Structure formats: C-alpha cells, structure tokens
Structure 1
Amino acid sequence: MNTIFFYIGSYFIGNFLTAHFLVKFIRKKGDIHTQGSGNPGARNIGRLYGKKAFVITFLGDALKGSLVILIGKILNLSEIELLFGLTLTVIGHIKPIIFHLKGGKGVSTFIGGIITFEPLLALLIIIVFIIIYPMSKSFTIAGLASFCMIPVAVSYLYKSMDLLFVLSTLIVIIILAHSENLFKKMGHT
C-alpha cells in the first residue's frame, strides 16, 4: 500500500513547477507558459529573468527528484521502485495534470533524482558532457548524450537488467520531451 501512495505522490510532486510559482512571485500575475518559449523550465526562466531565477528554478525542480528518492529510501523501497517513482516524478513534471499537461522537459528533476539515487553518476554526467559539448556546441545534445550513458553505468554498478530497462525508459521519455528541439537543431546542421 505504501508503494502505491509513493507512486501517486511521486507523480504529483512532479506537478510542482518551480518556474510557475517563481514567476507568480516575481510578477504577481505572470504565467511562464505565455513567456519566452512557454516552457516552465530553468533555461526559459533564466533567459527571461536572469541567472538567479535559473538557479532557483533548476534547484527547485531538482529537489523534486531528490525528495522522491529520499522518501523512497525512508520507506525502504527497492532500487527498481525508487527509479519507477523518479520516472513518475519526471512524467509529472513533463505532463502535469494541474497545468493541463503543459510542463517542462524533466531534466532538472531527473538530475536531482538520479544523483540522489547514485551520487557517482554526477561525475559520469559531467565527463560525458565535457566530451560531447565541444563537438555538438549544444547543451541539449551534450546533456542528453550524458544521460544515455546512465542506464549502462547503473546496470553495471547494480548488476541489474531491470534497472537498465527502467532507466532506459526514463531516458527515452526525456528525449521525447526534447524531440521538437532536437529536430530544430538537426535542421540547422
């Protein structure tokens, strides 16, 4: 029963869009969905309101992923249950029912959760990003490429094909959330 509540709670934690509440705080009547790219994520709010807003939004959204993993650990859930909860949190961020399924891309939430799940993965993300970014000149492509290495690393560290499957599914969800941006970038090359 705890696991079901954990999964439902994970999705609704994902629905908390930091950018939405930050814009309401800054502008009183503002709606991030009608500003800039319309994406309620750290990059859009950073372009509109500066570095401080970027950092607050990134950390707020990352905290959601961390919180879900920490709650799952307190409940003594298995690794597979933790990662399924993180998947639901990312889906809740990308398709929040509270905001008519108009959410962000899920990157900050994923980063916060996956690093809380396994802190060593921070190093992997940074190294792959540093290698790929000079070639691609794209934060999106370098970031997604670094994420693609995570399922392999986790399945190796935990000796689990189940974790490989759940994480691969999660990465595909994040890539699909970025598909429009990726097609635009490929069209420019």
Structure 2
Amino acid sequence: MTLIILIVCSYILGNVLTGSIIGSFYYKKEIRIEGSGNPGARNAGRVFGKKAFVATFIGDAMKGALVVLGAKWLGFGATIELFALFAVMLGHVFPLLLKFRGGMGVSTFIGGMLLFDPMLFTFFAGLFLIFYTVLKSFTLAGLSAVVMIPILVLLFSYGIPVFIAASLLSVLLLFTHRDDLKQKLMPEKS
C-alpha cells in the first residue's frame, strides 16, 4: 500500500509545474501559450528572463529530488526510487490537472538522478560535457548522455530491475524530445 501511495503522490507532485506557477503569479501570463508553449525552465528563461529560468529549474528539479528522497526515507531500494522518479516525470510531462500538456521532464530528471546516486550523476554530467564537445549541440549532447544512463546503472553494479527503470526514464526523455531530435537529425531542406 505504501508503494502505491508513493507512486500516486509522485505523479500528483509532477502535475505541479513550476513554470506555470511562476508565470501566473509573478508575470500574470500562462507560459503554456508563451514562447514555445513549454512550461519548462528553458522556455521560462526565454519568456520571463534568467531569474524565471533558475527558479523553474530549481522547482522542477526539487520534484525529482523529493520523490527519490521519499523513496529512500521509506526504505525502498534503487528500483523503486527510479520508478518514483519515473512517476513524477510522467506527472510533469502528462499532467492530468493541465490536460496532459506539461514539460519535457529534464529538470525533474536531473534533480532525481542527483539524489539517486551523486557519483553516477557526476559520470552522467561528464558524458554530457564530452558529447557536447563533439556534437556542439546542447540537445543532442544531453540526449546522448541520457541514453547512456541505463549503461551507467549497470557499470555501477545495479541489477537488471534498476536497468529497466533507468531505461524507462531514458525512453521517456527521448519521447518528450522527439521533435527536437527530428529537427536536429533530419533538418528540413529549404
């Protein structure tokens, strides 16, 4: 029963979109109809400025960190920690309260992975920097590093259930960035 409550609460917490809250309360605008229409940190920064970017990033990252911390505190293992992170990201990407139009889940992913295993996260960040040096694209470098997360999990001696949970996280992030990937990998001919 505790597990079900954790997963459901994680999904509900994911529905709280920091960018929408900041836009509504501080700027009297709905971020989901401004800029790219995405309520994430990048669009918040584009539409409202650097402070909104930082606040949105921290708020969304805290959601991931909180559910992983909650799973740890309740004594669940690594697999459930990542499933809780998946649930909060699912809530962020497909918020029931906002007609399933949410963000892309990157900030939430970062906050959760940082708390899940700081050393693994350090390797993830290192891979991102290596990929960025080669690819010269923030999006492609980030998604390439995301694809490596399940492999890192295995290298860090986590078992197959954790590998599966990490794979779900990677697939979700690839799905939310599918349009960016198409644009970067198959640019339209003019």
TM-score past 0.5 threshold? yes
Structure 1 position 166, deviation (Å): 1.2
> Counterpart of 2:71 in 1: which secondary structure?
helix
CA distance in 2, matches of 1:5, 1:140: 34
Residue 118 (1) aligns with residue 117 (2): yes
Q: Does 1:56 align with 2:46?
A: no
Distance in structure 2 (CA, Å) of the matches to 1:95 and 1:159: 28
Give unmatched runs, 5+ long, in structure 2: none
Q: Residue in 2 aligned with 1:15?
A: 15
Give the letter for the 1:159 counterpart.
Answer: Y
Structure 1 residues not aligned, in runs of 5+ = none
Q: CA deviation at 1:40?
A: 0.4
**Deviations 1:72-98 (Å, cap 9, x if unpaired)?**
111111211111111011111000001
Give the aligned partner of residue 32 of structure 2.
33
Distance in 2 between the 1:174 and 1:86 partners? 12
SS of the aligned residue for 1:105 comes to: coil
Q: Does 1:46 align with 2:60?
A: no
Q: C-alpha offsets along residues 69-126 of structure 1, whole Å, 9 cap, x if unaligned?
A: 1111111112111111110111110000011000000010011001100001232122
Runs of 4+ in 1 over 4 A off after TM superposition: none
Output the amino acid matched with 2:101: K
Give 1:27's aligned amino acid.
Y
Letter in 1 for 2:2: N
CA–CA distance in structure 2, aligned partners of residues 182 and 188 of structure 1? 9
Which residue identity does 2:6 align to in structure 1? Answer: F
Give 1:1-150 correspondences, 5 Å limit.
Answer: 1-28=1-28, 30-150=29-149
Quick one: which amino acid aligns to residue 86 of structure 1?
Answer: L
Identity of aligned residues (%): 42
Any idea what SS the aligned residue of 1:149 has? helix
Instruction: Name the CA distance, whole Å, in 2 between partners of 1:138 and 1:125.
Output: 16
Query: In the comparison of the two structures, how many residue pairs are matched?
Result: 188
Q: Secondary structure at the match of 2:168?
A: helix
Q: Which amino acid aligns with 1:56?
A: A
Distance 2:77 2:121 in 1: 21
SS of 2:52's partner is: helix
Q: RMSD across aligned C-alpha pairs, in angstroms? A: 1.3
Which whole-Å CA distance do the structure 2 matches of 1:47 and 1:9 have between them? 30
